[in-house]
Protein backbone atom coordinates (compact mmCIF):
# COMPACT_ATOMS: atom_id res chain seq x y z
CA UNK A 1 0.00 0.00 0.00
CA UNK A 2 1.27 3.45 -0.85
CA UNK A 3 0.04 6.71 0.61
CA UNK A 4 -1.27 9.05 -2.08
CA UNK A 5 -0.84 12.46 -0.42
CA UNK A 6 -2.32 14.23 -3.43
CA UNK A 7 -5.62 12.98 -2.05
CA UNK A 8 -7.08 13.57 1.47
CA UNK A 9 -5.75 11.48 4.34
CA UNK A 10 -7.58 10.52 7.50
CA UNK A 11 -5.68 10.15 10.78
CA UNK A 12 -6.99 8.91 14.11
CA UNK A 13 -5.72 7.67 17.44
CA UNK A 14 -6.65 5.17 20.11
CA UNK A 15 -9.46 2.82 19.10
CA UNK A 16 -8.96 1.45 22.65
CA UNK A 17 -10.90 -1.81 22.06
CA UNK A 18 -13.96 0.27 21.12
CA UNK A 19 -15.07 -1.71 18.07
CA UNK A 20 -18.20 0.42 17.55
CA UNK A 21 -16.17 3.62 17.30
CA UNK A 22 -13.82 1.92 14.85
CA UNK A 23 -16.78 0.81 12.71
CA UNK A 24 -18.05 4.42 12.67
CA UNK A 25 -14.57 5.65 11.70
CA UNK A 26 -14.39 3.20 8.80
CA UNK A 27 -17.89 4.18 7.63
CA UNK A 28 -16.90 7.86 7.74
CA UNK A 29 -13.72 7.19 5.73
CA UNK A 30 -15.75 5.30 3.15
CA UNK A 31 -18.38 8.05 3.06
CA UNK A 32 -15.63 10.55 2.33
CA UNK A 33 -14.07 8.25 -0.28
CA UNK A 34 -10.78 7.89 1.62
CA UNK A 35 -8.99 4.64 0.85
CA UNK A 36 -7.54 2.40 3.56
CA UNK A 37 -4.07 3.20 2.19
CA UNK A 38 -4.70 6.88 3.01
CA UNK A 39 -5.95 6.21 6.52
CA UNK A 40 -3.50 6.08 9.44
CA UNK A 41 -4.11 5.02 13.03
CA UNK A 42 -1.57 6.34 15.56
CA UNK A 43 -1.77 3.21 17.73
CA UNK A 44 -3.34 1.86 20.94
CA UNK A 45 -5.81 -0.29 19.05
CA UNK A 46 -6.39 -2.15 22.31
CA UNK A 47 -7.00 -0.45 25.67
CA UNK A 48 -9.88 0.57 27.94
CA UNK A 49 -13.01 -0.84 26.25
CA UNK A 50 -14.54 -4.29 26.13
CA UNK A 51 -13.70 -5.82 22.75
CA UNK A 52 -9.92 -6.00 22.21
CA UNK A 53 -9.75 -8.98 19.86
CA UNK A 54 -12.79 -7.81 17.87
CA UNK A 55 -11.17 -4.40 17.42
CA UNK A 56 -7.89 -5.90 16.19
CA UNK A 57 -9.85 -8.07 13.74
CA UNK A 58 -11.82 -5.04 12.53
CA UNK A 59 -8.80 -2.83 11.92
CA UNK A 60 -6.93 -5.63 10.15
CA UNK A 61 -9.98 -6.27 7.98
CA UNK A 62 -10.09 -2.56 7.11
CA UNK A 63 -6.42 -2.63 6.18
CA UNK A 64 -5.53 0.94 7.16
CA UNK A 65 -1.99 1.82 8.23
CA UNK A 66 -1.33 1.39 11.96
CA UNK A 67 1.61 2.77 13.93
CA UNK A 68 2.54 0.78 17.01
CA UNK A 69 1.32 2.30 20.29
CA UNK A 70 2.65 1.48 23.73
CA UNK A 71 -0.30 -0.89 24.19
CA UNK A 72 0.77 -2.85 21.09
CA UNK A 73 4.39 -2.89 22.24
CA UNK A 74 3.40 -4.22 25.64
CA UNK A 75 0.82 -6.78 24.49
CA UNK A 76 3.10 -8.06 21.72
CA UNK A 77 5.71 -8.82 24.37
CA UNK A 78 3.11 -10.06 26.88
CA UNK A 79 4.37 -7.43 29.32
CA UNK A 80 2.83 -7.15 32.77
CA UNK A 81 1.44 -3.61 32.31
CA UNK A 82 0.25 -1.16 29.66
CA UNK A 83 3.50 0.81 29.57
CA UNK A 84 1.71 4.16 29.88
CA UNK A 85 4.11 5.14 32.64
CA UNK A 86 1.37 6.08 35.12
CA UNK A 87 2.77 6.80 38.57
CA UNK A 88 2.14 4.29 41.35
CA UNK A 89 -0.98 5.03 43.33
CA UNK A 90 -2.58 7.30 40.73
CA UNK A 91 -6.12 6.56 39.62
CA UNK A 92 -4.87 5.97 36.05
CA UNK A 93 -2.49 3.32 37.34
CA UNK A 94 -5.15 1.57 39.41
CA UNK A 95 -7.62 1.59 36.49
CA UNK A 96 -4.94 0.45 34.03
CA UNK A 97 -4.38 -2.75 36.03
CA UNK A 98 -8.04 -3.56 35.42
CA UNK A 99 -8.33 -2.95 31.67
CA UNK A 100 -4.86 -4.15 30.76
CA UNK A 101 -5.25 -7.52 32.48
CA UNK A 102 -8.67 -7.91 30.81
CA UNK A 103 -7.17 -7.21 27.38
CA UNK A 104 -4.11 -9.36 28.02
CA UNK A 105 -6.23 -12.48 28.48
CA UNK A 106 -8.32 -11.81 25.37
CA UNK A 107 -5.81 -10.92 22.67
CA UNK A 108 -4.89 -13.97 20.59
CA UNK A 109 -1.41 -15.10 19.58
CA UNK A 110 -2.00 -14.09 15.92
CA UNK A 111 -3.07 -10.62 17.09
CA UNK A 112 0.07 -10.30 19.22
CA UNK A 113 2.17 -11.29 16.21
CA UNK A 114 0.40 -8.63 14.15
CA UNK A 115 1.10 -6.05 16.87
CA UNK A 116 4.76 -7.02 16.87
CA UNK A 117 4.88 -6.41 13.10
CA UNK A 118 3.63 -2.81 13.30
CA UNK A 119 6.02 0.03 12.44
CA UNK A 120 6.85 2.67 15.08
CA UNK A 121 6.49 5.46 12.50
CA UNK A 122 5.04 6.32 9.11
CA UNK A 123 6.60 9.06 6.95
CA UNK A 124 5.30 10.72 3.84
CA UNK A 125 5.55 13.93 1.89
CA UNK A 126 2.56 16.22 1.34
CA UNK A 127 2.92 19.33 -0.85
CA UNK A 128 6.62 19.42 -0.05
CA UNK A 129 6.11 19.11 3.72
CA UNK A 130 7.62 16.18 5.59
CA UNK A 131 4.97 14.46 7.70
CA UNK A 132 6.07 12.07 10.45
CA UNK A 133 3.50 9.90 12.26
CA UNK A 134 4.34 8.50 15.69
CA UNK A 135 2.51 7.37 18.82
CA UNK A 136 3.76 9.33 21.85
CA UNK A 137 7.16 10.94 21.44
CA UNK A 138 10.12 10.58 19.11
CA UNK A 139 12.25 8.69 21.66
CA UNK A 140 9.59 7.24 23.97
CA UNK A 141 6.28 6.01 22.58
CA UNK A 142 4.63 6.56 25.98
CA UNK A 143 5.39 10.27 26.32
CA UNK A 144 2.29 12.39 26.89
CA UNK A 145 2.46 15.60 24.83
CA UNK A 146 -0.33 18.08 25.50
CA UNK A 147 -1.10 21.43 23.86
CA UNK A 148 -0.19 23.47 26.91
CA UNK A 149 3.25 21.86 27.24
CA UNK A 150 5.01 23.89 24.58
CA UNK A 151 8.45 22.93 25.92
CA UNK A 152 7.67 19.24 25.29
CA UNK A 153 6.28 20.03 21.83
CA UNK A 154 9.39 22.02 20.88
CA UNK A 155 11.68 19.29 22.16
CA UNK A 156 9.79 16.59 20.28
CA UNK A 157 9.64 18.61 17.05
CA UNK A 158 13.40 19.07 17.27
CA UNK A 159 13.88 15.31 17.66
CA UNK A 160 11.42 14.34 14.93
CA UNK A 161 12.90 16.66 12.28
CA UNK A 162 9.67 16.92 10.31
CA UNK A 163 7.46 19.79 9.25
CA UNK A 164 4.36 18.13 10.68
CA UNK A 165 4.28 15.49 13.41
CA UNK A 166 1.06 13.51 13.74
CA UNK A 167 0.87 12.00 17.22
CA UNK A 168 -1.48 9.99 19.41
CA UNK A 169 -1.26 8.66 22.99
CA UNK A 170 -2.34 11.85 24.82
CA UNK A 171 -6.03 11.46 23.92
CA UNK A 172 -6.94 15.11 23.30
CA UNK A 173 -7.11 16.72 19.84
CA UNK A 174 -5.03 19.83 19.17
CA UNK A 175 -2.92 21.53 16.52
CA UNK A 176 0.13 23.48 17.74
CA UNK A 177 2.12 25.60 15.31
CA UNK A 178 5.58 26.21 16.76
CA UNK A 179 8.83 27.62 15.34
CA UNK A 180 10.13 24.08 14.76
CA UNK A 181 7.05 22.72 13.01
CA UNK A 182 3.49 21.67 13.69
CA UNK A 183 2.36 19.10 16.25
CA UNK A 184 -0.96 17.59 15.22
CA UNK A 185 -2.82 15.31 17.58
CA UNK A 186 -6.07 14.36 15.81
CA UNK A 187 -7.52 12.90 19.02
CA UNK A 188 -8.69 9.39 19.75
CA UNK A 189 -11.80 7.51 18.72
CA UNK A 190 -12.00 5.07 21.63
CA UNK A 191 -12.76 7.57 24.42
CA UNK A 192 -14.38 11.01 24.41
CA UNK A 193 -12.14 14.06 24.85
CA UNK A 194 -13.10 14.94 28.46
CA UNK A 195 -15.13 17.86 27.10
CA UNK A 196 -18.46 16.68 28.48
CA UNK A 197 -19.69 15.37 25.12
CA UNK A 198 -19.81 11.73 24.07
CA UNK A 199 -18.35 12.30 20.61
CA UNK A 200 -14.83 11.23 19.72
CA UNK A 201 -12.28 12.88 17.40
CA UNK A 202 -10.25 12.26 14.27
CA UNK A 203 -8.24 14.37 11.84
CA UNK A 204 -7.81 15.04 8.19
CA UNK A 205 -4.76 16.09 6.16
CA UNK A 206 -5.43 17.39 2.68
CA UNK A 207 -3.91 19.49 -0.05
CA UNK A 208 -5.30 23.01 -0.14
CA UNK A 209 -4.06 25.30 -2.88
CA UNK A 210 -0.29 24.97 -2.86
CA UNK A 211 -0.20 23.93 0.76
CA UNK A 212 -1.71 21.54 3.27
CA UNK A 213 -4.74 21.86 5.52
CA UNK A 214 -4.95 20.05 8.86
CA UNK A 215 -8.30 19.72 10.63
CA UNK A 216 -10.04 17.95 13.49
CA UNK A 217 -13.56 16.51 13.38
CA UNK A 218 -16.12 15.02 15.72
CA UNK A 219 -17.25 11.44 15.20
CA UNK A 220 -20.60 10.21 16.47
CA UNK A 221 -20.89 6.49 17.21
CA UNK A 222 -22.88 4.01 19.30
CA UNK A 223 -21.42 5.00 22.67
CA UNK A 224 -24.28 3.41 24.64
CA UNK A 225 -23.52 0.09 22.93
CA UNK A 226 -19.85 0.39 23.80
CA UNK A 227 -20.62 1.22 27.44
CA UNK A 228 -23.12 -1.68 27.66
CA UNK A 229 -20.50 -4.09 26.33
CA UNK A 230 -18.13 -3.00 29.10
CA UNK A 231 -20.78 -3.41 31.78
CA UNK A 232 -21.66 -6.88 30.47
CA UNK A 233 -17.99 -7.75 30.79
CA UNK A 234 -18.19 -6.42 34.36
CA UNK A 235 -14.95 -4.53 34.51
CA UNK A 236 -13.58 -0.98 34.23
CA UNK A 237 -16.94 0.65 34.99
CA UNK A 238 -15.39 4.13 35.37
CA UNK A 239 -14.46 4.02 31.68
CA UNK A 240 -17.97 2.79 30.73
CA UNK A 241 -19.32 5.82 32.58
CA UNK A 242 -16.84 8.03 30.69
CA UNK A 243 -18.24 6.86 27.35
CA UNK A 244 -21.66 8.14 28.44
CA UNK A 245 -20.63 11.31 30.28
CA UNK A 246 -17.83 12.52 28.04
CA UNK A 247 -15.65 12.98 31.13
CA UNK A 248 -12.53 11.01 31.98
CA UNK A 249 -12.52 9.04 35.25
CA UNK A 250 -9.09 10.40 36.14
CA UNK A 251 -7.24 13.60 35.24
CA UNK A 252 -3.89 12.43 36.62
CA UNK A 253 -2.00 12.77 33.34
CA UNK A 254 -3.37 16.22 32.43
CA UNK A 255 -1.42 19.50 32.88
CA UNK A 256 -3.31 22.30 34.67
CA UNK A 257 -4.60 23.96 31.48
CA UNK A 258 -6.09 20.71 30.16
CA UNK A 259 -7.59 19.92 33.57
CA UNK A 260 -9.22 23.35 33.62
CA UNK A 261 -10.80 22.59 30.23
CA UNK A 262 -12.71 19.61 31.66
CA UNK A 263 -16.37 19.62 30.55
CA UNK A 264 -15.80 22.54 28.16
CA UNK A 265 -17.07 21.61 24.72
CA UNK A 266 -14.24 21.43 22.18
CA UNK A 267 -14.49 23.21 18.86
CA UNK A 268 -13.17 21.69 15.62
CA UNK A 269 -9.74 23.05 14.63
CA UNK A 270 -8.09 23.77 11.30
CA UNK A 271 -4.71 25.08 10.22
CA UNK A 272 -3.50 25.79 6.69
CA UNK A 273 0.23 25.58 5.96
FE1 LIG B 1 -0.61 5.17 24.20
Check residue 29 and give its pLDDT. 97
Number of separate domains in the chain: 1
CA 208 – ligand 1 centroid, Å: 31
CA 118 – ligand 1 centroid, Å: 14
Tens of pLDDT, residue by residue over 191-210, are: 999 999 999 999 999 999 99
Question: CATH code at 68?
Answer: 3.60.21.10
- Its domain, for residue 30, covers 9-272
CA 211 – ligand 1 centroid, Å: 30
Structural domain contains residue 4: no
Structural domain contains residue 1: no
Ion ligand 1: residues, CB within 5 A, are: 44, 69-70, 169
Structural domain contains residue 3: no
- Supply the pTM of this predicted model: 0.95
Check residue 81 and give its pLDDT. 76
Structural domain contains residue 144: yes
- The list of the chain residues with pLDDT below 70 reads 1, 85-86, 88-89, 91-97
Tens of pLDDT, residue by residue over 7-47, are: 999 999 999 999 999 999 999 999 999 999 999 999 999 99
Check residue 93 and give its pLDDT. 66
DSSP character string of the chain = ----TTS-EEEEB--TT-HHHHHHHHHHHHHTT--GGGEEE-S--SSSSS-HHHHHHHHHHHT-EE---HHHHHHHTT-SS----PPTTSHHHHHHHHHHHHHHTTS-HHHHHHHHT--S-EEEEETTEEEEE-SS-SS-TT----TT-HHHHHHHHHHHT-SEEE--SS-S-EEEEETTEEEEE--BSSS--SSSSS-EEEEEEEEETTEEEEEEEEE---HHHHHHHHHHHT--HHHHHHHHHS--S--TT--HHHHHTTTPPPPP-EEE-
CA 209 – ligand 1 centroid, Å: 34
Structural domain contains residue 2: no
CA 137 – ligand 1 centroid, Å: 10
Amino acid sequence: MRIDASRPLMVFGGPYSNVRALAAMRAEAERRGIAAANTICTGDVVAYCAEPEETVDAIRDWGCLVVSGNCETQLAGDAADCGCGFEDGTACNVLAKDWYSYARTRVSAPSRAWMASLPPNVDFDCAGLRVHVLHGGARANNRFVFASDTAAIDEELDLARADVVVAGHAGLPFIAQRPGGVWFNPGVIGMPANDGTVDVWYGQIERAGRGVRLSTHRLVYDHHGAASAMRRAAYADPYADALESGLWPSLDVLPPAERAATAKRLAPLALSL
